[in-house]
Amino acid sequence: MRHPLEVLYQDVGLDRLHERVVRRWRGGRLACHYGCQAVRPYDEVDVPYNPTRMDELLEAVGVPTVDFALKTKCCGGSLTGTIHEVGLRLDYILLKEAARKGAEALVTICPLCQFNLDAYQAEIRRSAREPLDLPILYFTQVLGWALGGDFKALGLHRTISGRTYVKRWFTAQAEVESYV
Amino acid sequence: MFDGNGAPRIGVYVCHCGTNIAAVVDVYAVAAAAAKIPGVVVAREYKYLCSDPGQELIQNDIREFKLNRLVVASCSPHLHEATFRAAALAAGLNPFLVQMTNIREHDSWVHADRRRATEKAVDLVRAAVWRVRRHRPLEKGRIPVHPEVLVVGGGIAGIHAALSLANAGRHVYLVEREPIIGGHMAQFDKTFPTLDCAACILTPKMSAVKSHPNITLWTYSEVTGVEGYVGNYSVQVTRYPRYVREELCSGCLECIEACVYREAKFADRFNYGLGKRKPIYLPFPQAVPQMPVVDPETCIQFKSRKCKKTCLEACGERRAIDFTQREQVERIQVGAIIIATGFRTVDPRRMPYYGYGVYPNVYTALEVERLVNASGPTGGKVILRDGRKPATVGIVHCVGSRDEKTNRWCSRVCCMYSLKLAHLIKEHTGAEIFNFYIDIRTPGKGFEEFYQRLLNEGVHFIRGRVAEVTDWALDPTEEGRLVIRVEDTLLGTVRRIPVDMVVLATGLEPREDAQEVRRRFNITCSTEGFFLERHPKLAPVSTFTDGIFLAGCCQGPKDIPDTVAQAGAAAMEALALIDAGFVEQEPNTAWVMEELCSSCKICVALCPYNAISVPAETGKATINRALCKGCGTCVAACPSGSIVQNLFEDDQIFEEIEGVLAYA
């Protein structure tokens, strides 16, 4: 069993991805969040302390990333379902730091990270009394968009938070600008 | 003295070793059984044979019964072989006609059944008797010793060892890889716990080295080849060009002033890149030798050959600057070698979670050592890279020490130097200081008192290994600062401490080329890579290679007083060796029966001590007795059976085997 990040990075490679880019990214920087178990305890997917492969993939398709110190920190995991407020607190820390670093969206390599950060954002917004509204994307959604993927086929219409942003940068602009 | 001819007259001595042997083995029965073995003239048991009366008993028997061989059944030959050989020699018997058999470690200590343990003891004694009948008298060899000593490494260990030997009137070669001597100690500001200025106590010793008539100092030089053996090492030293001729330079340093670079602009290695230097430079003001070095990487003359060479003009008639200088190779003969090659500090980039190399305000302890030093890059001001004075400083202990992920050992000096730096930074800046420690280890004279003093000065101590140094801020007080996340194990909670400056107390580890050096000098390393002493308690400065001694941190982390003590001990051991004028050699070496040697040269490659050669004129293998350690590898490997090892000859070993199997 292999993680898509590993396959895309090792088997496909940065160069081949770069060659196939058809859309130019006009948005801002994104934050890459790797989470816990993709890089721990085994280091086949990436370096456990400072993983960079998702950043490299995104940069290869022209999407700039921020230096995100919390990229391997807990997204709340299953705590959002058990000790709810602890899970939300962990999500809040990630979202706030990503926003502080100037990231316009958070990109994950884990469906649970994506779900936690995305689905509870409204609740976090209320409890923290802060205007957080960050789109949370799976990394293949960003890559797929750059390679010319369809908005719906990439599931971009199913994102919950930051919908305005997603609609602005992942649809209209794509029609305007062609990379090739 | 008995010449080995004539019928064997053997004395057998069975030791009680108090109750160590006698409680399990029936020593009386063993002696009685031994008395019946052909060739045995007398067999006795005794309570402690190693005692003076025990030895006298043996010596009286040698004279009275005209014994020409001895068997001592007692403990391991490691403990008392020398004792009984000396006793035999004193009574006029060749010491190599004594055979010990171990009925303690090999018998009484590992068996409970008295009857069967006694039978085993009888078998062992019989084997020894059968073996000793085949022994020949042997003589110890004597190898002359060259009276000079080589010291490798010019840190405080090498300096102290060299001075000790030179003061004793011996000639010493001190070889240092860097352009200057002083090592790590020259980079320190103060020394713990007395807060003596490191330079003030080191520079007099450095100058003494330079001016001592008995010391030949070679800086910017490396030992590139070692051949030979104890007492007779021939060493090749490569001297790298500094492009300033040592014999002509007066140390006026006008060339540095005159360099076409008006401003110093290249990273200065002595200050870990915190300061700048010119292409021609003196690493630090009190450097010994007081002589500039030219760095060909940055010097315009080397890069383009089109420099105005204002340095040459400044040097004038002395003509000390020489761009054509080349590498030189010196060959020297020495009797002993002291290795004092020191340590390196752990590269904290190996622990990315501490942010070194990521956040500019994370420093290593050695960098801070240079910051607080008056001759350092900031003139002794503790300021951050952006020029701010830190208001809060966190010192992270055990970076690369006591850590399963990096190095498992305690580096011994970091607790104390962290306390020292805490004191110095507080003194310089008045900053609030946090120490993050696992355990405070202050075992040393005045060390614990120093720790108490720091506690009274109001330095904070938080017990817990730091999880990470990061810049993510949770509230405005953390904005723009470094946050140390740590579990405070005394409070039982995770804390976030925002600071302006982080000091990583990096541990000590072997130098990057320790393995290379180990092979060059044919010494051994412990698993962590520090050079291995011959015995951890009783031979702490010797190595397994005779004539090569260790001093300082190349053998393991230690502080300055311990290093100096060890350097003194190494000098003493070297002195004892060279002053004897010769080394005695055990006769259990191998030799070649030339008429049987087929010149296959299998033995040459197998010998771990490079003792075997095949000279072209004879075409037969010859073994250098001075190099042979008697390991027996060549003897076992020789396809024509032409190699014999003294004390381990075939018939001796087969007789011993037959003896142990010949039970009644």
pLDDT digits (tens, 9 = 90+) for B65-121: 999 999 999 999 989 999 999 999 999 999 999 999 999 999 999 999 999 999 999
* Facing B353 at nearest CB: one of A49, A93, A97: A49
> What is the domain-level CATH number for residue A77?
3.40.50.11810
pLDDT of A177: 52
Across the interface, whether the CB atoms of A100 and B474 are under 8 A apart is answered no
Residue A129 to chain B, least CA–CA distance (Å): 14
Residues in chain B whose Cβ is within 8 Å of chain A: 351-353, 470-474
CB atoms within 10 A of CB B5: 8
CB atoms within 10 A of CB A75: 26
Picking from A15, A23, A13, the residue whose alpha carbon sits closest to that of residue A144 is A23
Continuous H helices in chain A:
4-6, 14-19, 53-60, 79-82, 84-100, 111-119, 121-128, 139-146, 163-167, 173-176
B373 vs B367: CA distance, rounded Å: 10
Whether the ω angle into residue B561 lies within 30 degrees of 0, i.e. cis, is no
Is the confidence at residue A37, as pLDDT, over 90? no
Q: Give the nearest chain A residue to B479 (CA atoms).
A: A100
Name every residue whose Cβ is closer than 8 Å to that of residue B334 and which is 6 or more positions away in sequence.
B146, B148, B149, B150, B173, B233, B235
Q: Which residues of A touch B474 (CB under 8 A)?
A: 93, 96
Q: Which residues of A touch B473 (CB under 8 A)?
A: 97, 100
Residue B16 corresponds to which tokens in the numbers above?
């009680």
Query: Positive or negative, the Cα torsion across A82, A84, A90, A95?
Result: positive
Q: Which residues of chain B have pLDDT under 50?
A: 1-3
Beta bridge partners of B232: B229
| Number of independent structural domains in chain A | 1
Continuous H helices in B22-150:
27-35, 52-64, 77-90, 114-132
Q: What element of type H or E holds B172?
A: strand B172-175
CB atoms within 10 A of CB B200: 11
Residue B470 to chain A, least CA–CA distance (Å): 7
Whether the ω angle into residue B137 lies within 30 degrees of 0, i.e. cis, is no
CB atoms within 10 A of CB A105: 24
Widest distance between CA atoms in chain A: 49
Across the interface, whether the CB atoms of A100 and B352 are under 8 A apart is answered no
CB atoms within 10 A of CB B483: 23
Residue B200 corresponds to which tokens in the numbers above?
């003030």
* pLDDT tens column, B183-234: 999 999 999 999 999 999 999 999 999 999 999 999 999 999 999 889 999 9
Query: Positive or negative, the Cα torsion across B263, B264, B266, B272?
Result: negative
Calculate mean pLDDT across residues A93-117.
Answer: 95
Name every residue whose Cβ is closer than 8 Å to that of residue B50 and which is 6 or more positions away in sequence.
B15, B74, B75, B80, B83, B84
Is the confidence at residue A180, as pLDDT, over 70? no
Cα A15 to Cα A53, A55, A139: the distances in Å are: 13, 14, 17
Q: Which residues of B touch A69 (CB under 8 A)?
A: 470-472
Beta bridge partners of A73: none
SS (H, E, C) B388-433: CCCCEEEEEEEECCCCCCCCCCCCCCHHHHHHHHHHHHHHHHCCEE
In a domain, A8, yes or no: no
B660 vs B637: CA distance, rounded Å: 25
Would the ipTM clear 0.85, i.e. be above it?
no
Residue B353 to chain A, least CA–CA distance (Å): 7
* Facing A69 at nearest CB: one of B351, B472, B474: B472
DSSP-derived secondary structure for B476-538: GGGTTSEEEEEEETTTTEEEEEEESEEEEEE-EEE-TTHHHHHHHHT--B-TTSSBPPSBTTT
- Beta-carbon-side half-sphere exposure of residue B633 (alpha carbons within 13 Å): 15
If DSSP codes are grouped into helix, strand and coil, which group holds residue A70? coil
pLDDT of A26: 87
Cα A174 to Cα A167, A179, B452, B516: the distances in Å are: 10, 9, 67, 59
CB atoms within 10 A of CB B475: 8
In a domain, A5, yes or no: no
* pLDDT tens column, B453-486: 999 999 999 999 999 999 999 888 999 999 999 9
**For chain A, what is the mean pLDDT?**
90
Domains of chain B from N-terminus onward? 10-140 (3.40.50), 141-235+332-342+512-584 (3.50.50.60), 254-318 (no CATH), 345-509 (3.50.50.60), 589-645 (3.30.70.20)
* pLDDT tens column, B112-170: 999 999 999 999 999 999 999 999 999 998 889 999 999 999 999 999 999 999 999 99
Residue B518 to chain A, least CA–CA distance (Å): 33
Place of tokens 């020398």: B82
Q: Which residues of A touch B472 (CB under 8 A)?
A: 69-70, 93, 97, 100
SS (H, E, C) A119-150: HCHHHHHHHHCCCCCCCEEEHHHHHHHHCCCC
Q: Which residues of B touch A97 (CB under 8 A)?
A: 472-473
Is the confidence at residue A41, as pLDDT, over 90? no
Across the interface, whether the CB atoms of A49 and B352 are under 8 A apart is answered yes
- Contact between B206 and B155 under an 8 Å Cβ cutoff? The reply is no
Q: Which residues of B touch A106 (CB under 8 A)?
A: none
pLDDT of A179: 47
Across the interface, whether the CB atoms of A100 and B472 are under 8 A apart is answered yes
A60 vs A8: CA distance, rounded Å: 12
Q: Which residues of B touch A96 (CB under 8 A)?
A: 474
Picking from B500, B465, B486, the residue whose alpha carbon sits closest to that of residue B393 is B500
pLDDT of B312: 92
Residues in chain A whose Cβ is within 8 Å of chain B: 49-50, 69-70, 93, 96-97, 100
Across the interface, whether the CB atoms of B472 and A49 are under 8 A apart is answered no
* pLDDT tens column, A48-89: 888 999 999 999 999 999 999 999 999 998 999 999 999 999
In a domain, A14, yes or no: no
Residue A94 to chain B, least CA–CA distance (Å): 10
Q: Which residues of A touch B405 (CB under 8 A)?
A: none
Across the interface, whether the CB atoms of B353 and A70 are under 8 A apart is answered no
* Facing A97 at nearest CB: one of B351, B353, B472: B472
pLDDT of A171: 74
Q: Give the nearest chain B residue to A98 (CA atoms).
A: B472
In a domain, A3, yes or no: no
Is the confidence at residue A175, as pLDDT, over 80? no
* Facing B471 at nearest CB: one of A49, A69, A93: A69
> Residue A153 sits in which domain range?
21-176
Across the interface, whether the CB atoms of B474 and A70 are under 8 A apart is answered no
Q: Give the nearest chain A residue to B350 (CA atoms).
A: A49
Residue B468 to chain A, least CA–CA distance (Å): 10
In a domain, A26, yes or no: yes
* Facing A69 at nearest CB: one of B351, B470, B474: B470
- Contact between B514 and B464 under an 8 Å Cβ cutoff? The reply is no
Burial B354-365 (b: 16+ CB within 10 A, else e): bbbebbebbbbb
Residue A97 to chain B, least CA–CA distance (Å): 6
pLDDT of A174: 53
Q: Of all residues in chain A, what percent are helix, strand and coil, respectively (each to 5)? A: 50, 5, 45
Residue A157 to chain B, least CA–CA distance (Å): 31
If DSSP codes are grouped into helix, strand and coil, which group holds residue B460? strand
In a domain, A28, yes or no: yes
CA angle centred on B636, ends B632 and B642, rounded to 5°: 95
- Contact between B445 and B421 under an 8 Å Cβ cutoff? The reply is no
- Contact between B412 and B557 under an 8 Å Cβ cutoff? The reply is yes
B530 vs B516: CA distance, rounded Å: 12
In a domain, A9, yes or no: no
Q: Which residues of B touch A72 (CB under 8 A)?
A: none
Q: What is the dihedral of CA B291, B297, B300, B302, to 10 degrees?
A: 90
In a domain, A44, yes or no: yes
DSSP-derived secondary structure for B543-605: -SSTTEEE-GGGSS---HHHHHHHHHHHHHHHHHHHHHSEEEE-S--EEE-TTT-----HHHH
A21 vs B494: CA distance, rounded Å: 45
B351, B469, B472, B478: best mutation site toward chain A, by most A Cβ within 10 Å?
Answer: B472
* Facing A50 at nearest CB: one of B352, B473, B474: B352
Return the beta strands (E) in B317-360 as ranges: 328-334, 336-339, 343-345
Q: Give the nearest chain A residue to B351 (CA atoms).
A: A49
